[in-house]
Structure 1
Amino acid sequence: MTPRSTVPPSPSPNGIRRVRHLLILAGSLIAATAGAQGDSVAISHDDPRIGLRAGYNDAAEVARNMELVGHGARPQNFGNAQNLGDFAFLNGDLAFKGNLAFQGGFNGFQVWDISNPKSPTLRTSFVCPGGQGDPSIYKNLLFFSVEETRGRVDCGGQGVTDTVSAERFRGVRIFDISDLDHPKQVAAVQTCRGSHTHTLVIDPNDPENVYIYVSGTSVVRSGAELAGCSRGASLTDTTTSLFRIDIIQVPVAAPQNARVVNSPRIFADSAGAIAGLWQGGAHGEGTQTTSQTNQCHDITVYSAIGLAAGACSGNGILLDIHDPVHPKRIAAVIDPNFAYWHSATFNNDGTKVLFSDEWGGGMAPRCRATDKLTWGADAIFYRTGDKLTPAGHYKLPVVQTDQENCVAHNGSLIPVPGRDIMTQAWYQGGVSVFDFTDAAHPKEIAFFDRGPMDATKLLLGGEWGTYWYNGYIYASEI
């Protein structure tokens, strides 16, 4: 389930002094205070997050070095009161523009006016089912990921029943949002595996176009539905739609002409074999079983230094993107503690890359006392040129219950000069802010958490992603 915002080229001069609040949308906003002292990364058994009262709207809450200052309630047409964990209505990731926060999701997107972060208001919502609704924004264009087979070209909610249908849409939608009351779909670029996530790439040498790196993780559609798609799973099948990403070129002045311009084989080995990285499986006794590297879940770009980091199921990779249409893999790493490489984050100067592992797919309790601190965690690497060297791990340092889905998920940097600080969502593990300036010894410095959705069973819930924006941390609650 799913960051990839481009890292700012330089830290904010105001730094952590402005990070004082948390806001949760369709579910809150949080902040961390300046000068907070770090806690040990070792698991804590004497922590106020332990034993919190369960509840849907009335769960007990606790925070340290943060305070909850705002909350936006879920619109009625973006939820199922009869099934609180209904996948069809999950909220997803966030994107920002001015005083607006765009919240993507499996049922469409919501736009929140955050002019007053302590009182966010719903500006508009747009129903367009298809999951998982990963959003990004460039000027007046909203890009929106669709991967499910129920997605329709016309955004209808009736789904698609035929096995092969011209009505089905799986790929990246492009909306003109210059009139927020009437968002207009101006393009819908189909891809073979749909778009689980996507990454906006801005080439400083090409102002006429922007590029979208598409990460597809779903099943490959039939070639009868979209020409060129191939379900071949053989490691030697060079026609397969696996083992690649798709790159969409979007002319800024004519977004309706957006199209796929390349599908690079970024996992190929030096001999050209397309399945050149991890083949899937365990690494030995006591290790994780790691997914095969035939897809990227998420890619984070740092255009200012011409690099991208990809979290690609079985590997973490580093890409040279100076030519955004033809990215080249320059490094690949593996960690026997990782089940599924999920997301990547650069620090501000690009000397570190943090990869996250979504062990259990975000739907399982993976922060229990019996779960290893290096499983379902973050792995931090030093970057020197095209080399990635392992430095340390970070995991939520408090035990969660069997009733709480919990694992490392989406987050972002908090721009603080001279320090590497990140806010991260852990689903029902809440929000954790940690300092990884010393990459070998990351320390939690702030947190927000509430009790489980239900005291007797696991109901899917919690924070999908947390993002620092203009002095606040915004959380998207699924």
Structure 2
Amino acid sequence: MMAPQTLRLKHGAASVSLALAVLCPVICSGQGAPAAASGAPLNSKVFTNPRAPADDPRIGLKGGLYDAGEAASGMERVASLPKPTGFGPGTTPPEAPGQITGDQPPPPAEDGKPPQPPAIQYGSTNSDLAFSGNHLFAGNYNGINFYDIDNPAKVKLTTSLMCPGGQGDVSVYGHLLFMSAEAVNGRIDCGTQGIALPPGYVPPPAPKPQPLPNGGELPRPQRPLPPPSPERFRGVRIFDISDFSNPKQVAAVQSCRGSHTHTLVIDPKDKENVYIYISGTGQVRQPEEMSECSGGEPTANPNTALFRIDIIKVPLAHPEQAKIVSSPRIFTDSQTGAINGLWKGGFHGEGTQTTSETNRCHDITVYSAIGLAAGACSGNGILLDISNPVNPVRIDAVSDPNYAFWHSANFNNDGTKVLFTDEWGGGGQPRCRATDPMNWGADAIFTLSNRKLTLSSYYKMPAPQTELENCVAHNGSLIPIPGRDVLVQAWYQGGVSVVDFTDAAHPMEIAYFDRGPVNGEKRASGGQWSAYWYNGYIYGSEIARGVDVFRLVPNKFITQNEIDAANQVHFDELNVQNQPKITWPANFIVARAYVDQLNRSGALASPRIAALNEAIMKFDDTPSDRKTEAQLKAIAASLDKDAAAVKAPADAARIRALSAIIKQRTSHL
């Protein structure tokens, strides 16, 4: 195995000139059928999972960076790798100009309030993950780390690509690697020196938060941008990783708000190109830096770079020609034509959240198999028709008085549910304390029927966390257990929680892993940014500590047969926000998982379960035995009748799937 390498893309060696960077094009409309101006507020009187009992093992865990206490159920940690040099504590360039480090004095007091303690910095922030073959790409505010995961229990760092600019959201397609950059310290040439300020320039003071009538306050306005620079990069970088040891930047597509996250979109009808949906949440750049950029409210500036997403077209044969080809106004009110047609920001009434204005998306998950995308767009959750990926059309929108900031989304595998997350507190605050509402900073689970979203329930990681632990709903992916809708999800310092939302109205936790606070004495940012299942293992991007690898183990909610069936699924590549359709082989490993589920639910009586298990075992041992074959065929016929009789739709689907496997396995005999 080659030695790990840290790469800094030098000016002239792999830089892309500003002249080649693509500027924002003419804006296009992306609005469909009429919708309520702000998305219909939801009825919040739905099920919310209960808080964990006082004896939950996650409560009271010892803090520490690498020696924290741990608690787990249904999961075990099999490997951990600290952040490498250049990314870890004491070896990292600052993530953005003016960042506070642990040795600096606290900032001055404001309006008589006590001074805030300095931030504790454990290197640069680990962010999202992408997978290709036996490689893991771990994004970071200062670049990307490449890992060999051929043996998940012995993960190996192979290459470190130093390229600051936050937030390092990553995706991969073939030999191309995509990376988001949004911070003002990002350079076109990937340099670590940041952007020099003019002599004598003094940054203006940070704006103060704006109070609200309900006693809360709007998010603190962003600090004014530094002076423009032709060296600055904010947008999506494209690397050629044909040689993993020497990635080369082949394009750098500039955008007006930078790229907080991005989504790889594959059009089944277009084999020549892939598309990138840019979700930019930063401030609009000055026109002196990018001539086609301007901000402001649409009433004053109809060409504002707010209230839209940007879409990049990437020619696979010539990725260096990548450029923005549309900027759809997906928040437009089709009745009035107002481009700010969704939630205007603010609180919904007494006892509700203060919800961000819908002028951008934080994340978009596309599900090409059903032609839809779910956008988590600050003040709303939206549903998009992506049959034309260059011009997505909004077909539904919802708002929620319990949501502060719509953050991310996942479909279930058959496309009948969408799980949205709320990043209350922005990810840096403790929002899982015993005093915090269980339906704030939580998942909202919707059913999806006739292209309309209906709220069914809320789910929140149930174990109370401390004041020292930033915690709120964050990124996750499906675990391919057949017959169930199961999501593994990161909750920052709330750890990893696995939720079964097969019954959309009653989600429940079925597994978890948690550590104590990253610092047991002071508040510090840490915990799992993302937790994704990939080919039998769960990979976690730990903000402060590094990379974790987990696997499922049986408990009272998960059987070994279900784990084995999930592990029958293999991805060649995985970008979670480009959600793949999961299919399972028609074998008895999968069949046994269905039998376990029917036993757990009581849909089939114990004698039927025993007969099924016995027949499957005999058939595996002697597949040419005619007596066993006849027995299985008779069982399949009776299962068809059972499927019509059971009341629970999930059980009926399991019985039909089990019957289909038995019929296919015995059809050639």
TM-score (norm 2): 0.65
Report the secondary structure of 2:369's partner residue.
Answer: helix
Q: Is 1:256 paired with 2:320?
A: yes
Taking the aligned partners of 1:239 and 1:161, their CA distance within structure 2 comes to: 30
Alignment pair present for 1:238 and 2:302: yes
Q: What is the alpha-carbon distance in structure 2 between the residues aligned to residue 71 and residue 217 of structure 1? A: 32
Q: Which moved more, 1:61-70 or 1:85-94?
A: 85-94
Name the stretch that deviates more: 158-167 or 41-50.
158-167
Q: Distance in 1 between matches of 2:55 and 2:422?
A: 26
Partner-residue secondary structure (3-state), 2:183: coil
Inter-CA distance 146–88: structure 2 relative to 1 (3 Å threshold): farther
Whether the 8 Å contact between 2:49 and 2:438 is mirrored in structure 1 is no
Equivalent of residue 125 in structure 1, options 155, 160, 171: 160
| % identical aligned pairs | 65
**Counterpart of 1:361 in 2: which secondary structure?**
helix
- Secondary structure at the counterpart of residue 444 of structure 1: strand
Q: How does 1:299-318 map to 2 (within 5 A)?
A: 299-318=364-383
Higher relative contact order (CA 8 A, sep 6+): 1
Q: What is the DSSP-based 3-state SS (H/G/I as helix, E as strand, rest coil) of the residue aligned with 1:134?
A: strand
- SS of equivalent residue, structure 1 residue 416: coil
Q: Secondary structure at the match of 1:365?
A: coil
CA contact under 8 A between 1:88 and 1:107: conserved in structure 2?
A: no
Question: Does residue 214 of structure 2 align to residue 206 of structure 1?
Answer: no
Conservation of the 8 A alpha-carbon contact between 1:236 and 1:273 = no
In 2, Cα distance between equivalents of 1:60 and 1:116: 26
Q: Could you say which residue in structure 2 is the equivalent of 1:425?
A: 490
Letter of the 1:377 counterpart? A
The 3 A distance-change label for structure 1 pair 189 and 318 is same
Deviates more, 1:298-307 or 1:75-84: 75-84
Equivalent residue pairs, number: 439
Q: Distance in 2 between matches of 1:262 and 1:88?
A: 37
Counterparts of 2:291 and 2:138, CA distance in 1: 32
- 1:70 equivalent in alignment to 2:70: no
Aligned to 1:17: none
Structure 2 residue corresponding to 1:383, chosen from 414, 434, 448:
448
Structure with higher Rg: it is 2
Q: Distance in 1 between matches of 2:171 and 2:236?
A: 11
Deviations 1:169-189 (Å, cap 9, x if unpaired)?
000000000001110000000
Q: Do the aligned residues in 1 keep the contact of 2:256 with 2:290 (CA within 8 Å)?
A: yes
Q: Counterpart of 1:53?
A: 62
Normalized per residue, the structure richer in strand is: 1
State the TM-score, normalized to the length of structure 1: 0.90
2:361 partner amino acid: C
CA pair 87-169 structure 1, distance change in 2 beyond 3 A: farther
Which residue does 2:241 correspond to in 1?
177
Q: Summarize deviations over 1:321-376 as a string: whole Å, max 9, x none.
A: 00000000000001110000000000001100000000001100000011000000
Give SS of 1:89's match.
coil
In the alignment, residue 47 of structure 1 is paired with which amino acid?
Answer: D
SS of 2:86's partner is helix
Q: Which residue of 1 is the match for residue 133 of structure 2?
A: 98
**Kept in 1: contact 2:487–2:499 (CA 8 A):** yes
Show CA shifts across 1:374-417 (max 9, x none). 00000000001221011000001110000000000000011122
1:42 aligns with 2:106: no
- Secondary structure in structure 2 of the residue aligned to 1:118: helix
Choose from 187, 190, 214 the match for 1:155. 190
- 2:451 aligned with 1:406, yes or no? no
Measure, in 2, the Cα distance between the counterparts of 1:335 and 1:88. Answer: 36
Cα deviation for residue 233 of structure 1 reads 2.8
2: distance between equivalents of 1:237 and 1:436? 43
By percentage of residues, which structure has more helix? Answer: 2
Post-superposition offset of 1:86: 3.3
- Could you tell me whether the CA contact under 8 Å between 1:412 and 1:424 is conserved in 2? yes
Which deviations, in whole Å up to 9, do the C-alpha atoms of 1:397-444 show, x marking residues without a partner? 110000000000000011122210000000000000010001111000
Residue equivalent to 2:329: 265
Match of residue 194 from structure 1:
258
AA partner of residue 259 (structure 2): S
Aligned to 1:6: none
> By how many angstroms is 1:80 displaced?
3.0
SS at match of 1:360: helix
Structure 1 position 444 matched with structure 2 position 452: no
2:22 match: none
| Shift, 1:122, TM fit | 0.2
Distance 1:47 1:141 in 2: 44
- Which of residues 355, 358, 364 is equivalent to 2:420? 355
Instruction: Determine helix, strand or coil for the equivalent of 2:320.
Output: helix
- Report the 3-state secondary structure (helix = DSSP H, G, I; strand = E; otherwise coil) of the residue aligned with 2:474: coil
Q: Distance in 1 between matches of 2:84 and 2:76?
A: 24
Unaligned runs of 5+ in 1: 1-39
Alignment of 1:286-365 (within 5 A): 286-365=351-430
